[in-house]
């Protein structure tokens, strides 16, 4: 196991954040960052889905697996003390109804969208194993599962995978008060391109998108710094909602 993967896992266990320095052996390439993701995921016990996003409509996407142990059903109650940082983002989640196995050729847009079974509202709990994580390099953040802490997924909706995120409204409610209301708030623009990119990325690395997995596609509400004792509700009008309580 690589030194950084070992230290990231230790930080998850102890909640002692990594302060930086040569001992962490920061990844020098995307391939190295994704290899560290694989090591971390294997130690955490497997995958329930993926997160994928992009900084702009033109930017190259970046992704990370979602550890099965951190994916929760609607109404989850999570202890804030289990995380170093409790940022929350409301995101569109796509549930796959069929496998997209690894293969040599690229997946076409229609193949990927046809594999999506349903859509749901999700709340990602953003966390990091790094101190000062906003100042860490993109490759370090990628290695750390792209700052993933946990995911809460709402009830599935039969809405088509071709939902237009640029026109989709999104809301975040905290303790019964609406604190964010956006339309088209995801910086990636067309989120379907993220699904297509992810299918190709996974296939090129000998991995599959599997039936039953959920893929989240980036924040529609920006990052809200939540705290213990708050009740959070994400709403995607027409698609559904999701709730999370932090104790």
HEC string of 74-127 equals CCEEECHHHCCCCEEEEEEEEEECCCECCCCCCCCHHHHHHHEEEEEEEEEEEC
Per-residue pLDDT at 245: 98
Per-residue pLDDT at 160: 73
Per-residue pLDDT at 75: 97
State the CB neighbour count (10 A cutoff) for residue 175: 10
State the CB neighbour count (10 A cutoff) for residue 242: 26
pLDDT digits over 66-96, tens only?
999 999 999 999 999 999 999 999 999 999 9
Per-residue pLDDT at 26: 82
Per-residue pLDDT at 161: 78
Helix/strand/coil percent split, the chain, to 5: 30, 35, 35
Per-residue pLDDT at 171: 98
151: CB partners within 8 A, 6+ apart: 49, 51, 66, 70, 71, 72, 93, 122, 123, 124, 125, 214, 216
Per-residue pLDDT at 121: 97
231: CB partners within 8 A, 6+ apart: 174, 175, 176, 243, 244, 245, 246
For the chain, give every domain's residue range. 3-246
* 3-class secondary-structure state, position 179: strand
Per-residue pLDDT at 22: 59
* 3-class secondary-structure state, position 1: coil
46-83 burial, b for 16+ CB within 10 Å, e for fewer? ebbbbbbbbeeeeeebbbbbbbeebbbebebebebebb
Residue 131: strand pairing partners: none
CATH 3.90.850.10 is right for the domain spanning 3-246: yes
The CA distance from 67 to 5, in Å, is: 15
DSSP state of 56: S
Look up the pTM and report it.
0.94
Q: Average pLDDT for consecutive 10-residue bins of the chain (247 residues)?
A: 94 90 76 97 96 95 97 97 94 96 90 95 97 92 97 89 91 98 94 95 94 97 97 96 98
Per-residue pLDDT at 28: 85
């Amino acid at each position: 196991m690589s030194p950084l993967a070992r230290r990231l896992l230790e930080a998850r266990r102890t909640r002692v954040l990594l302060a930086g320095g040569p001992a962490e052996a920061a990844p020098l390439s995307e391939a190295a960052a994704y290899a560290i993701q694989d090591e971390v995921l294997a130690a955490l016990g497997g995958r329930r889905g993926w997160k994928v996003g992009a900084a702009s409509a033109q930017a190259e996407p970046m992704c990370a697996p979602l550890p099965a142990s951190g994916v929760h059903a609607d109404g989850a109650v999570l202890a804030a003390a289990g995380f170093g940082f409790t940022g929350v983002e409301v995101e569109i989640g796509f549930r796959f109804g069929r496998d997209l196995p690894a293969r040599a050729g690229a997946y076409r847009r229609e193949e990927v969208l046809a594999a999506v079974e349903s859509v749901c509202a999700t709340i990602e709990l953003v966390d990091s194993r790094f101190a000062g994580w906003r100042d860490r390099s993109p490759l370090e953040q990628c290695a750390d599962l792209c700052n993933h802490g946990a995911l809460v997924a709402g009830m599935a909706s039969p809405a088509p995978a071709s939902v237009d995120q640029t026109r989709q409204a999104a809301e975040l409610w905290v303790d019964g008060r609406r604190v964010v209301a956006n339309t088209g708030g995801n910086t990636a623009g067309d989120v379907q391109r993220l699904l297509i990119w992810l299918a190709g990325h996974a296939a090129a690395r000998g991995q599959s998108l599997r039936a039953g997995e959920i893929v989240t596609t980036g924040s529609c509400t920006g990052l809200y710094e939540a705290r213990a004792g708050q009740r959070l509700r994400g709403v995607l009008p027409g698609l559904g909602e999701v709730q999370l309580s932090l104790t």
